[in-house]
Amino acid sequence: MTTDQPEVSGAEIALENVTKRYPGQKAAAVDGLTLTIPAGEIVMFVGPSGCGKTTSLKMINRLIEPSSGTIRIGGQDVRQQGENELRRQVGYVIQGGSLFPHMTVAKNIALVPKLLGWDADRIEQRVVDLLDLVGLDPAKYRGRYPRELSGGQQQRVGVARGLAADPPVILMDEPFGAVDPITRQRLQDELLSIQRELRKTIVCVTHDIDEAIKLGDRILILREGAEVAQYDTPENVLAAPADDFVSDFVGSGSTLKQLSLARVSSIELADRPTAWVGESTGEVVARAEAEGHDAVVVLDDRGRPLGWPWLRQLRGHDRVPSYDAEKLNTLDSRATLNDALDTMLTSSHGAAVVTGDRDQYLGVISFEAVTDHMRQLEREAAAHGE
Amino acid sequence: MWQFVDDRSDQIVYNTLQHANLVVQAVLFAALVGVALAVVVVWVPRLETLANAVSAIGLTIPAFALVGLLLPLLGIGAFTAFWAVAFYAVFPVLRNAVVGLRGVDPTLLESARGMGMGPVAVLLRVRLPLAWPVIHAGLRVSMQMSMGVAAIAAYVNGPGLGGYIFTGITQIGGANAVNYAVVGTVGVVVVALLADLLLLLLGRLTVSKGIRA
Amino acid sequence: MASDTVTDVPARTSRLRSMPRGTVTMLVVPPVIVASVFLVYVVWRQTATLDSIEESQLAWPTVWKLLGEHVRLTVVSALAVVAIAVPAGVLLTRGRARIAAPLVVAVANTGQAAPSIGLIALLAMWRGYGFWTGVIALTLYGLLPVLRNTITGLQGVDPTLKEAGRGLGMSATGVLLRVELPLAGPVIMAGVRTSLVLVVGTAALATFIDAGGLGAIITTGISLLKVSLMVWGAVLIALLALLVEWLGRLLELFTRPKGV
């Protein structure tokens, strides 16, 4: 939608010949890794289990100390400051959110700002802003305890906690590994939309190549010993895998993989009739029928889609009722076509509602539009081959 | 019976308070020692087997035997009673604190470190609050056990209600023997139940709602 | 792969360390302590110059007699505890009696708050001095752990296993005897061990109501201010208690069904 790029708030991370050896172990877990992560980008670390991707990540915030080599964040050697000071300036998000069960949502988010000595009002405001940012109603969720939240909500709070002190760098370790596929896709979309606003430097470890293709500005594919197999944009990794290891790993070459690369935003969205909560159903139904549709997308007062009822479901009400947005599987415009197909499968409309920044309603993506796009890709690929 | 109690009400109240006082002080002391030891055990995992063995053996030593062992060292009276009670009270707290502190999910600890908490902050803000329900359960066991130990320690002139029971035994067959024994026994039960109630209340107030069973 | 194996290493050693090592320690250390301390006692007893009181109190026939009484009190009471608490626990997990279980446990818990010495004193006033009064007091005192563990043990048996038993055509009694009790066995035996420790320790107080036991040496020591009697009486009781606890552990180990 908007094309004006917000300012980059991230910092560059540079790893220089970083090695980690564990005592009593022949091969180094990470052997001479050199890497530059540009400010404001999402870089995904992928590779087979035991390749050293998590070790590499944890060396950035010194949860694991490198045996040799240098790591700089924004030009500054991470060893120049105390490890705790460093970690307070580097967001850390791990699987399941890892929230402290004895603290409320607000307290969890407030932890690092408190460690940094922020005053109470500022922390308070920050908690509210962050909950809003991750799509949780502050009034409703701030006082809740983690066990009162769903897995996806816990993970959202985990992300908010990682962002709390507004760190330039955020490290994520399999952040969405513990939730179901639909929720995972939503969380990924939300992360992309948050990143569109904040432009942090995000380093994220995953074992899921589709996730890496979807989220990453760049993908780092590692072999054993954290040897770089390829470090490039998702497009290039798919189009020109460096070697057999990479092409086996990403399963590139198939048109289906391209579905993970193409974004919903690259397809023209269809317009569907919309209705506001509280509108008179008579008018809504008349409007929709005039346009030849049998369903309407219901929006709340901030333009966020809540539900997608059939007209026959609406006819029972005088006014358009409110729906539980949790039950509507929406797609972020940055979601991949792969996600789009997944979401359509769970919908009875054979299409999916697409949202933009802060969950604003954008339009609807239909199954036909996706298949058309795929056919076009195939034709292009064939034309290339000839 | 009522006449008996009525005649001695001041003295009974005094001894009840003495009993509670002895047990609460000893248990409080033991709880601090137990938790401190548990923190050390958790930091040096090698000590865990030792701690478990010491707890098991310590709890096996009969209270009356311990009183017999302490008497030559500490003499007759409140001092022996205090140490006897405190000795036993350490173990349930120690055992539960080790279990509780070790039971904290390691990913939470890593998460805490990853957020920039130092070891002391991790202990005070994450480990102890999460282990507290288990420690609290150990505290209740300690408290209940200590009530009986304190009664036995009265044999060597420890303070509290146990004295009535021993008076009852020495006067057996006498007019007031049963009264003495009943006052002593029931008194201890009442103090024990009240103490447990207070501990439960303490638990309600101090265990985070997020982890309450 | 290489780093996979390595991350596994600490986990494996700690598993080796925690579980079996603790069990092994508790099976080896107590008998060693008991044997060596008892040896110290024997050496002291044979070499020290004792006055006439010590001589008579610590004469071997006297010690054996008191020890025998103590063991008899313990064994008879423990058997009574098992004979009462296990069936009671079984009953409280069957049919309609189930709803009474929490109530019974709560009452038993409250009862446990009564000081052992008070219970013994009151029973003596009601039933007179002697061995059997001691047994009744110790039995009452030892009931709770076995009762509680029998109930939790039986409640902890996976209901699908019970159903499987019924499905194979076992009667309710068959399921109880061949599925539930064996599976609940370890929990019940842990309760029995706790009871044994309680009973053997409390039996030291039996001397106050002329029910015998090693407590007599301590009381004599205290009333005559003989430090040697207080200490050795206490030591002998402690050794017996440790031995009994150890036997409880052995019992627990041998009654554990294979594969659990």
Reply yes or no on whether the pLDDT at C4 is more than 50.
Answer: no
Which of chain C's residues have a Cβ under 8 Å away from the Cβ of B155? 117, 222
- What does the pLDDT look like over A191-201, one tens digit per residue? 888 898 889 99
Residues from chain B contacting residue C113 (CB–CB below 8 Å): 144, 147-148, 188-189, 192-193, 196
> What is the C-alpha to C-alpha distance for residues A260 and A250, in angstroms, rounded to an integer?
11
CB atoms within 10 A of CB C88: 18
Query: Domain for residue B26, yes or no?
Result: yes
- Whether residue C3 and residue A27 make contact (CB cut-off 8 A), yes or no, is yes
CA angle, residues C228, C234, C235, in degrees to nearest 5: 90
Report the CATH number that the domain containing residue C225 is assigned in CATH: 1.10.3720.10
Q: How many CA atoms lie within 13 A of A90 on its CB side?
A: 34
The minimum CA-CA distance between C168 and chain B, rounded to whole Å, is 37
Residues of chain C contacting A, Cβ within 8 Å: 1-4, 6-7, 9
Asked whether the beta carbons of residue A25 and residue C7 sit closer than 8 angstroms, the reply is no
**How do strand A297-299 and strand A90-94 relate by DSSP bridges?**
unpaired
Q: Which residue has the tokens 């699908």?
A: C160
Segment C217-244, tens digit of pLDDT: 888 888 888 888 888 888 888 899 999 9
pLDDT higher than threshold 80 for residue A261: no
Q: Looking at the partner chain, which of A22, A24, A224 has a beta carbon nearest the beta carbon of C1?
A: A224
Size of interface A-B (CB pairs under 8 A): 65
CB A268 within 8 A of CB A281: no
Assess if residue B23 is contained within a domain. Answer: yes
Residue A202 has pLDDT above 90, yes or no: yes
Q: Which residue has the tokens 């509210």?
A: A128
Into how many domains does chain C fold? Answer: 1
**Digit-coded pLDDT (tens) for C140-181:** 889 889 998 999 888 888 888 888 888 887 888 888 888 888
C-alpha distance from C12 to closest chain A C-alpha (Å) = 15
A47 in contact with C, Cβ within 8 Å = no
Size of interface B-C (CB pairs under 8 A): 143
* Strand (E) or helix (H) holding A352: strand A351-355
DSSP conformational letter for B103: T
Nearest to A172 by CA among A57, A71, A86, A66: A57
Q: Which domain holds residue C164?
A: 49-255
* CATH code for the domain of B52: 1.10.3720.10
Can you tell me the distance from the alpha carbon of A116 to that of A355, in angstroms, rounded to the nearest whole number?
35
Look up tokens 């110790």; give the residue.
C138
pLDDT at C21: 64
Hey, how many other C-beta atoms are within 10 angstroms of the C-beta on C84?
A: 16
Q: Find the range with the poorest average confidence among A2-11, A29-38, A92-101, C27-36.
A: A2-11
Q: B66 CA to chain A: closest CA distance, Å?
A: 40
Distance CA A190, CA A184 (A): 10
Q: Identify the closest residue of chain C to A47 by CA–CA distance.
A: C1
Q: Indicate the pairing of strand A42-46 with strand A201-205.
A: parallel
CA B211 to CA C258: how far, in whole Å? 36
Q: At what angle do helices B47-60 and B78-102 cross, to 10 degrees?
A: 140
**Who among B108, B114, B126 is closest to A87 (CB)?**
B114
Question: Does B133 reside within a domain?
Answer: yes
Question: Is the minimum CB–CB distance between B209 and chain A shorter than 8 Å?
Answer: yes
pLDDT of A106 reads 94
User: Which residue has better confidence, C6 or A270?
Assistant: A270
* DSSP per residue, A45-64: EE-STTSSHHHHHHHHTTSS
> Distance, in angstroms, between B43 CA and closest chain A CA?
18
**How far A207 CA sits from the closest chain C CA (Å)?**
15
Give residue A385's pLDDT.
Answer: 53
The SS3 of residue A220 is strand
Please report whether residue C170 resides in a domain: yes
pLDDT at A251 over 80: no
DSSP letter at B125?
A: I
Give tens-digit pLDDT for C17-63: 444 566 777 788 888 888 888 888 888 888 878 787 777 878 888 88
Selected residue with higher pLDDT from A255 and A246: A246
- Does C21 fall in a domain? no
Does residue C224 form part of some domain? yes
Nearest Cα of chain A lies from the Cα of B36 at a distance, in angstroms, of 22
Whether A102 and B210 lie within 8 Å, measured CB to CB: yes
- CA dist C135 and B60 (Å) reads 20
Q: What is the DSSP letter of A262?
A: S
Nearest in space to A175 (alpha carbons), one of A213, A149, A202, A198: A202
Name the minimum distance, in Å, from the CA of A87 to any CA of chain B.
Answer: 5
- Tell me whether residue B79 is in a domain: yes
Structural domains in chain A, CATH included, are 1-89+169-252 (3.40.50.300), 96-166 (no CATH), 266-372 (3.10.580.10)
Within a domain: residue B131? yes
For the stretch A352-382, pLDDT in tens is 888 887 788 888 888 888 888 878 877 776 6
What strand order describes the sheet that includes A330-332? A330-332, A351-355, A361-366
Contacting residues of A for C8, CB less than 8 Å apart: none
Does residue B205 fall inside a structural domain?
no
Question: Which single residue is written with the structure tokens 């026959």?
Answer: A312
First to last CA, chain B: 43
Using the beta-carbon criterion (under 8 Å), do A29 and C3 form an inter-chain contact? yes
Amino acid at the residue A345:
L
Given a cut of 80, whether residue B5 has pLDDT beyond it is no
Say which residue the tokens 């995972």 belong to.
Answer: A184
The tally of domains found in chain B comes to 1
Q: For residue A99, give the amino acid letter.
A: L
Question: Does C165 map to a domain?
Answer: yes
Q: For residue B183, is pLDDT > 50? A: yes
List pLDDT tens digits, range A54-85: 999 999 999 999 999 999 999 899 988 888 88
Q: Is B116 on the interface with A (CB under 8 A)?
A: yes
- Residue A149 has which token pair? 């939240």
Domain that holds residue B139: 17-160
The token pair that represents B96 in the structure block: 């539960």
SS3 A314: helix
Interface of A with C in 259-278 (CB under 8 A): none
Dist CA C238 CA C216 (whole Å): 14
Contact A134/A195 with Cβ under 8 angstroms? no
Chain B environment of A171 (Cβ under 8 Å): 114
Per-residue pLDDT, averaged over C85-93, amounts to 90
> Is there a domain that residue C23 lies in?
no
What is the per-residue pLDDT for A252? 56
Measured in degrees and rounded to the nearest 5, phi and psi for residue A293 equal -110, 155
Question: Which residue in the set A22, A26, A49 is minimally distant from C4, CB to CB?
Answer: A49
Q: How far is CA C14 from the centre of its chain?
A: 30
Tell me whether residues A101 and B211 touch, CB distance under 8 A.
yes
Identify which of B45, B68, B162 has the shortest CB distance to residue C231: B68
Chain A: residue whose CA lies nearest to C1: A50
| Residue entry with tokens 């207080």 | C230
Nearest chain A residue to C4 by CA: give it: A50
Residue B54 lies in a domain: yes
- Rounded CA-CA distance A105/A136 in Å is 11
In this predicted structure, the answer to whether residue B75 has a pLDDT above a threshold of 90 is no
Interfacial residues of A (vs B; Cβ cutoff 8 Å) = 61, 63, 83-89, 92, 94-96, 98, 100-104, 111-112, 115, 145-147, 161, 171
- Read off the pLDDT band of C127 (50, 70, 90): confident
Residue B31 in any domain: the answer is: yes
Residue A125's identity, in one-letter code, is Q
* Chain C residue nearest residue A28, CA to CA: C3
B115 touches chain A (CB under 8 A): yes
- Structural tokens at position B124: 């005070």
Within 8 A of C2 by CB-CB distance, chain A residues are 25-27, 50, 224-225
Which residues of C are less than 8 Å from B177 in CB distance?
125
Task: Give the Cα separation of B151 and A143 in Å (integer).
Answer: 46
- Which phi and psi (to 5°) does residue A192 adopt? -60, -40
pLDDT at res. C2 = 36
pLDDT tens for residues A317-353? 888 888 887 778 888 888 888 888 888 887 788 888 8
Residues in chain C: 260
- Chains touching A (at least 3 CB pairs under 8 A) are B, C
